[in-house]
Chains A and B, each alone.
Chain A
Amino acid sequence: MNVSLTILELAVVSLGIAILLVDLWLPEQHRRLLGYTAAAGVGLILVASFLISVPSAEYAFGKMYVMDPLALFFKRFFLLAGAIVLLLSVEFSDRIETGIGEYYTIILFALSGMMFAASANDLILVFVALELITVAFYVLTSFQRNNIKSLEAGVKYLILGALASAFMVYGIALIFGTANSTKFGDILAVAGSVSSNPLFLLGILFVLVGLGFKIAAFPFQMWAPDVYQGSPTPTTALLAVGSKAAGIVLLLRILFSAVPQIASQWTSLLIVISGVTILYGNLCALPQRSLKRLLGYSSIAHAGYLLLGVAAVSMAGSSAILYYLLGYLFTVLAAFTVICIVMREVDNDDISSFEGLHARSPLLAATLSLAMISLAGIPPLAGFFGKFLLLKAVIEQGANEPGYYCLVIVALVGVVISLYYYLGVVRTVYWTNPSPGQASILVSTPVRFMIYACIVGMLYLGLLPNAAVNLAIRAVQVFHL
């Protein structure tokens, strides 16, 4: 048993426990420090993760846990996201009346869940890791317990999440029953014989339901807008980036490591889900006035784009997903940072409260605009190249199955629709003038630094994607495609 492979997760968990404990003795006025410490700690772990290199897959806990380039990629991804979200939480801390220390801790625990999920090589571990994430998010979502919206979001997320979990458990049961194992390696070994077994397929479908809920894919996307809107902003950010990425990595692992044959049989399903998700998210976002809710819908649409890569069932598609997620990370976090800071001034995320932002804070305005532009998939930002790779991957498959071309068309329609509302945000930010009462917004140094980091990330990925693409390509080599 090679426990040392889990060093990163262990570090995060220890950090979480440490924060929890330190919080007990820390005086009120130094709370801010706690957040910075947590962020710095995560950052440190992130840096440390670069000391680890995994030339080939290594296993621990009886092949339940795997450490391979894909896992490492996502661990770093989550660590990065975690560091930024923690910084964001510090910014948000005055709006959480109680237990900010616990907030950081739970974020860290959720983070560790995501990191475990990245390494999951067994359905049981998948389930447990996902539940850790989910339960942590139940708490994070309803953390503003004096805010009815936050509580409501928590309840909604909890009920639907538990529903999805139930399906997932049932699915795991069925898979276990037919393949007689929950380990991916074993499933892959017997998949040839069981892939025609309807019970096995049913199991896979139920597991997909559970994951579909996590990434907010159609038809399990209903929760996203409400929860995005109601949750505290850092939670939303982490939900948008971390939870979605965790769902995606598990989806990829299960589909392409455990049951690749089934994945290639089910392309039509994936195509339909991806297409409908894109359309649904974009169409619903059109008339949206609440920016967080809009981003909720947009996250549905982006789940659809990510599913493009899944639907392609190819190395190119998977690597495109990884790249896309990386771009999405910077973009969404930048957007939520701005929202978080602006909402600190006015407790309202209606788009109208962003009017004249350019005059109140040019940096925030530019950041939000850049984020929107990147989300819309316009060069030179990361979103463009990600979409480019995804579309390329899908078109690549078009020769085998014409349905892919329809999917491409749908994706295009989605992109065009999305332009409308993304640019609507940009318009509000720049076209209008601030109402007289609104003062200019000050941005603290760490946040400024963070924003710069996000912008640099977006630009770097958009302008010099070579390294990231290579990284993604190396990471997806683990799949059996």
Chain B
Amino acid sequence: MSHISTITFLLLWPFLGAIVIALLPRDFRLAIRAVALASTLFSLLLAIKVFLQFDASLLAPQFVQKVLWVEAIGISYHVGVDGLNVGLILMGAIVAFAAACVSSEIETRHKEYYFLLLVMIGGILGAFASLDLFFFYFFHELALIPTFIMIGLWGKGENRIYATYKITIYLSIGALLALIGLIALYLHAGGTTFDMIALTKQLSDSPLAPESQHLIFPLLLFGFGILVSLWPFHTWAPLGYAAAPTATAMLHAGVLKKFGLYGLIRIAIPMMPEAAHSWMHVLAFLCLGNILFCGFVAMRQKDLLLLIGNSSVAHMGFAFLGIASLNLIGITGAILVMIAHGLLAALTFALAGYLYRQTHTLRMDQIKGLLPQIPFVGTVSIMALLAGCGLPGFANFVGEVTVFFGAWKQYPFVTALSVWGALVIGGVYMLRAIRTIFHGPANEGFNKMTDAVNPLTRLPYLLLLGSLLCFGFFPRLLSDKIKPAADAVAKLAAVARESSQPIESTEATVTASSKIASSVPTSKQ
């Protein structure tokens, strides 16, 4: 391989930064921070370049680089972008830069912190850029470890240790299940290559036996599901995010968490479409657990961080729903939701982190009426929270609506409830947060707040908000790039649908639609 792909550079920068930081003396705080900012900025610029140069009309992955790594079992370092991940990488790079920006809140052990942060960022970007099953997993794990350590070391709150353990154990279980699934997939496909592209092609030509599919798919589904906090394996998420330092929460909730969803779309569905069909019903109902159940839980939270955490879990439900619908619209919607939620989660956690630094608590019964004191942060927060309940103009709305359109035909009943979750439940808890924290009369004791005035301080928030608005106003920027790849996935899924029993599914639709007819008057209250 003579040339080195832009993507490789994109991944390389954070790692290079990490190495440089490791070599710098620990007193050079400014230099350390500058290195972190610069390396993430370079990555961001490269990601933008890749995004702009990406040609959606070509189905094959672009900016590819492939280097044989372990010859004996067919692992190679293979990176590249196609429609499925181009947006995610861009989103990841944006969030990474923003995360590096907000890391100024760290006051102890800068060196270790930025080192871990950059490793995490590199891992995240790598996980999404990988076209090799092994590296896909490898980078993800690489990003997870700094997550745990950062939560433990720089986390906040009393039970951060418990949270660290919980998030560690949960995510490890998920990752390991997925790993087993991936290995099994590799072996059942012949055990010659870990290359995703080759595997997808091979498996679409000669699909796996149904028994194998039904064995492997649930492993991947639940393994990835746990990583994305699929209900009922979600309890790690709110707690973990509440305890995590801001940048970690941003990166994990925003980007790394999407790994599971991405894996489902990238691997599980195209490679095992038949099993996907039989399992998607399960997923569709579990995602209701995310949307409704976690939505309700979010309504009860007293701590803003827990609320955001639960709402982030709830939002994952929409992505699951989109995936469960197994059609072009749904999958595109799921990816849109992933990107949008990534930006949004990063933004909300960044803001929550800012508030926390000012107030040292985020309990909603204690802090009230902050808006007049911090107009900038307050306004951005309100916009973020409103985006969280699916307001048009923000990218989330586009994603969610697309998901609804995609899922409606498959699961009208589930979709109806999800719409309820998106519009009503989401509205209730987000507005509640706005109402208590920003609106209303100010509380005594919180009148020494300082707003973000410095343009550099404002930059991450504006960057994230701007991206949200940009994709919200011009969703075609994303959707046109996603569509061909999503279409390929949906087509693979559709092939299997035709081969499986079509009668059953229509029956299901009819019963479900009669259900909806009866359920509508009651659900209107």
Contacts and interface: CB of A to CB of B under 8 A. Distances in A.
The answer on direct contact between A and B (beta carbons under 8 Å) is yes
Q: Which of B144, B148, B179 has the most CB of A within 10 A?
A: B179
Contact of B180 (A391, A399, A430): A391
A419 B72 contact: no
Contacts of B152: 423, 427, 430-431
Contact of A379 (B141, B153, B180): B141
Interface in B300-355: none
A459 B141 CA distance: 15
Interface residues of A, number: 31
A145 interface: no
A415 B172 contact: yes
If over half of B's interface residues share one DSSP class (helix, strand or loop), that class is named, otherwise mixed; here it is helix
B138 A380 contact: yes
A379 B152 CA distance: 19
Contact of B176 (A380, A412, A427, A466): A412
Interface string A462-480: 0011100110010000000
B173 interface: yes
Interface in A371-427: 373, 378-380, 384, 388-389, 391-392, 395-396, 398-399, 408, 412, 415-416, 419-420, 423, 426-427
A427 B161 contact: yes
Contact of B165 (A399, A412, A420): A420
Nearest to B68: A466
Interface string A94-134: 00000000000000000000000000000000000000000
Nearest to A380: B142
A388 B169 contact: no
Contacts of A396: 187, 191
B179 A388 contact: yes
B69 A466 contact: yes
B485 interface: no
A450 to B, nearest CB: 20
B148 A423 contact: yes
Contact of A473 (B72, B142, B164, B172): B72
A419 B168 contact: yes
Interface in A420-466: 420, 423, 426-427, 430-431, 464-466
B183 A391 contact: yes
Interface in A357-383: 373, 378-380
Contacts, number: 80
Contacts of A399: 187-188
B416 interface: no
A373 B141 CA distance: 11
A391 B176 CA distance: 10
Given A412-B180, A416-B169, A423-B165, A384 B141 contact: yes
Nearest to A320: B73
B73 A392 contact: yes
Interface string B65-105: 00011111100000000000000000000000000000000
Contacts of A392: 73, 183, 186-187
A465 B77 CA distance: 12
B367 interface: no
Interface in B105-137: 134
B38 interface: no
Interface in B141-195: 141-142, 144-145, 148-149, 152-153, 161, 164-165, 168-169, 172-173, 176-177, 179-180, 183-184, 186-188, 191
A391 B168 CA distance: 20
B73 to A, nearest CB: 7
Contacts of B168: 419-420, 423
Given A379-B138, A419-B172, A431 B71 contact: no
Contact of A419 (B68, B169, B183): B169
B183 A388 contact: yes
A423 B164 CA distance: 10
Contacts of B188: 399
A103 to B, nearest CB: 36
A395 B188 CA distance: 10
A392 to B, nearest CB: 5
A378 B187 contact: no
A108 to B, nearest CB: 35
A408 B153 CA distance: 32
Contacts of B148: 423
B172 A395 contact: no
Contacts of A388: 134, 179, 183
Interface in A195-229: none
Contacts of A469: 70, 72-73
Contacts of A431: 152-153, 161
B8 to A, nearest CB: 15
A416 B183 contact: no
Nearest to B119: A380
A395 B71 contact: no
Contact of A416 (B153, B173, B180, B187): B173
Contact of A408 (B142, B145, B173, B180): B180
A316 B153 CA distance: 39
A469 B72 CA distance: 7
A380 B137 CA distance: 11
Contacts of A395: 180, 183-184, 187
A427 B165 CA distance: 10
Contacts of B187: 392, 395-396, 398-399
Interface string B41-60: 00000000000000000000
Nearest to A470: B72
Contacts of A384: 138, 141
A177 to B, nearest CB: 41
B18 to A, nearest CB: 12
A356 to B, nearest CB: 12
Nearest to A412: B176
A396 B212 CA distance: 12
Contacts of B169: 416, 419-420
A419 B165 CA distance: 9
Q: Which of A384, A415, A423 has the most CB of B within 10 A?
A: A423
Nearest to B216: A395
B176 A416 contact: yes
A67 B164 CA distance: 50
Contact of A430 (B73, B153, B177): B153
Nearest to A424: B165
B183 to A, nearest CB: 5
A416 B172 contact: yes
A57 to B, nearest CB: 21
Given A412-B173, A423-B165, A378 B145 contact: yes
A416 B141 CA distance: 14
A88 to B, nearest CB: 25
A422 to B, nearest CB: 10
Contacts of A408: 180
A380 B183 CA distance: 18
A304 to B, nearest CB: 16
Q: Which of B68, B186, B187 has the most CB of A within 10 A?
A: B187
B223 to A, nearest CB: 10
A124 B495 CA distance: 63
A362 to B, nearest CB: 8
Contacts of B141: 378-379, 384
Contacts of A380: 138, 142
Going nearest first, the 6 A-B pairs with the smallest beta carbon separation are: A379-B141, A412-B176, A392-B183, A466-B70, A379-B138, A395-B183
Given A380-B138, A420-B165, 13 more contacts: A378-B145, A384-B138, A391-B183, A392-B73, A392-B187, A412-B176, A416-B176, A420-B169, A423-B168, A427-B164, A431-B161, A466-B69, A473-B72
Interface of B: 68-73, 134, 138, 141-142, 144-145, 148-149, 152-153, 161, 164-165, 168-169, 172-173, 176-177, 179-180, 183-184, 186-188, 191
18 contacts: A378-B144, A379-B138, A384-B141, A389-B73, A392-B186, A396-B191, A398-B184, A399-B187, A416-B169, A419-B168, A420-B168, A420-B169, A423-B152, A426-B149, A431-B153, A466-B68, A466-B69, A473-B72
